[in-house]
Structure 1
Amino acid sequence: MKFLSLALFAFLLAGCSSGPRIDHSYTASGQNSRVQYIVLHYTSTDLPHSLELLTKEEVSAHYLINAVPPTIYQLVDENRRAWHAGVSDWQGRTWLNGTTIGIEMVNQGYFDTPNGRYWQPYAQPQIDALIVLLKDIMQRHHLPPGSIIGHSDIAPQRKVDPGPMFPWKQLADAGLMPWPNAEVVARQQAIFAVSLPSVAWFQQQLAQQGYTVPSSGVLDEETRNVIRAFQMKYRQALYDGQPDAETAALLLEVNRLSKS
């Protein structure tokens, strides 16, 4: 009896260690990719330091793109979470590390000089490589146009990357995001120049676009930061955070495109 008990115990242990068989023959139709957005960043440093920071520190990204020669480094599998977004909000979603793919571009960002702030431009080969990567990611994850956002969009109170030198219009020309029609914007700007909408209107339009913004009707620093983030994407010649007629026209047109 003692021998039989030991044999039975060994059999049960063997069964527990192997576990039940997993059947993969069925697939649910009600599913999609965990990826909702692609977030663009600049590294604020050179390639060697970027690689060190993104592989040996807590911060990480799925991809890093060098400028010369244009090289795409995959640092985190797309099915895993990378630590690139931090405290973030977009279109009602928060803490976006879990639902985004982060792409870092090797770029120094900006330098403050006696003559003002200098922003480093992006190298065209780097942007060309980025566009190829973005098209591939969006196709594989079935992302709609407009799913590409900047770190400054999801964290406008503390981040400014990818900055006003990033060529968003090139992404639009490649079919990756909608872009406001210049003639429509000019006509609407003339109307808003006669009667500028209230601060509350700007806040409502920015929130409709996806930004987290106060709804106080007061032009406070938080609201100006959000306006500045929007301007750095759609009006890079002037991003002073002021609610003017051109910004109002751009907001109205971008939100119209988002609905279509």
Structure 2
Amino acid sequence: MTPSLAKLALLAASCVLTLAGCTSSATKAQRGDYKLEWVESQNASERVRFLVMHFTTIDFDHSLRVLTQPSSSPVSSHYLVPENNDPTYPHDDLRVYQLVDETRRAWHAGPARWEDRYQINDQSIGIEIVNKAHCHPPVETSTGEIGEEICFFPEFDPEQIELVIALSKDILARYPDISPTRVVGHGDVVPQYKIDPGPRFPWQKLAEAGIGAWYEEEAVKRHMDYLKGNTTSDRESIRQRFAQWLADYGYGINPETATDDDITLYTRAFQYHFRPWKVDGEVDNHSRAIMLALLEKYFPNKLSGYPELKGTLIAELEEQD
């Protein structure tokens, strides 16, 4: 037998043995009018990759109807979490409401993007949290100028947040592909239209419970010290570089085509999540330091891609390791 034929024979034998091994562990069943054999493939991944948090802006009863009944603009989510002191809520104790089976696609994220994924509805679980935050649209002043939008953000109910934490832990335990940076807000994935769950949502508390991402204060201070000593960059280059950092973290901004307005929009979304006490869209040193601390914690390999940091900050980090 020639070497090539011998290799083919070995390959064929290997295939037969492999298939025989698989077949021996197959599950057989009758489904309808045909027989079924279930052989689990190793070439697959979880459907669910993201966990998206929302606030409803309306009370429980209205939220439940909007999320479950047909309409001209139908929306839904997998879960709805009520709050205390809502006269429309029918129970004495708070309960998690499941509205859509996790195996099915809920319509909660819209035209969203995170990382390199666009069809977020297809790959996520959505949690709607009853909270009557609302904004008044800007109005024209007596001088003909357009005023600012005025928003009101009530605190979230502590007991409600404990329910959100318990529910999220349960979800994360079943879907290991949802890494900390893939627990996001609606405003993170579609900042053009949404800001929820808003600046009052306790992202840090969730992160301390093992849900989602947060930064280390010591790292932020260290990055602030570095940035204060680096005064050679102009405003435009700083903002363009921050757009790249946003994209590296997961935000759906394109650094190469982003306009100044785009950078402001995505920076505001970032601040709603990670610096909610000052949301202004400005790429200041504090926002930059928080972002660098997040990249260092969750994507340290990406920091080495920035030449301006290579000889200073990266060297310091490597020394600490």
Q: TM-score, normalised by structure 2?
A: 0.71
Alignment RMSD (CA, Å): 2.1
Distance in 2 between the 1:217 and 1:83 partners? 29
Question: Which among 52, 59, 76 is matched to residue 39 of structure 1?
Answer: 52
Distance in 2 between the 1:18 and 1:73 partners? 33
- The yes-or-no answer on 1:51 pairing with 2:77 is no
Contact 2:243 2:258 in 1 (8 A): no
SS of equivalent to 2:181: coil
TM-aligned CA deviation for residue 141 of structure 1? 1.4
TM-aligned CA deviation for residue 116 of structure 1? 4.8
Distance in 2 between the 1:88 and 1:77 partners? 21
SS of equivalent to 2:37: coil
Distance in 2 between the 1:94 and 1:18 partners? 37
Question: Which among 19, 34, 49 is matched to residue 20 of structure 1?
Answer: 34
TM-aligned CA deviation for residue 115 of structure 1? 11
- The yes-or-no answer on 1:60 pairing with 2:76 is yes
- Which position in structure 2 is the counterpart of 1:139? 173
Counterparts of residues 1-260 of structure 1 (less than 5 Å): 19-24=33-38, 26-57=39-70, 58-68=74-84, 69-112=93-136, 116-142=150-176, 143-194=178-229, 195=231, 198-216=238-256, 220-259=260-299
Unaligned runs of 5+ in 2: 1-30, 85-92, 138-147, 301-321
Give aligned-pair identity as a percent: 35
Distance in 2 between the 1:155 and 1:222 partners? 12
Number of residues of Structure 1 aligned to a counterpart in Structure 2: 243
SS of equivalent to 2:152: strand
Contact 2:136 2:151 in 1 (8 A): yes
Distance in 1 between the 2:136 and 2:35 partners? 61
Unaligned runs of 5+ in 1: 1-16
Q: TM-score, normalised by structure 1?
A: 0.87
- In structure 2, give the amino acid aligned to 1:177: G
Q: Deviations over 1:84-129 (max 9, x none)?
A: 0110100010021100001000011234499953211100011100
SS of equivalent to 2:54: strand
Contact 2:51 2:125 in 1 (8 A): yes
Contact 1:186 1:249 in 2 (8 A): yes
Contact 2:50 2:183 in 1 (8 A): yes
Contact 1:200 1:217 in 2 (8 A): no
SS of equivalent to 1:172: helix
Distance in 1 between the 2:257 and 2:42 partners? 44
Residues 189/219 of structure 1: CA separation in 2 closer, same or farther (3 Å cut): farther
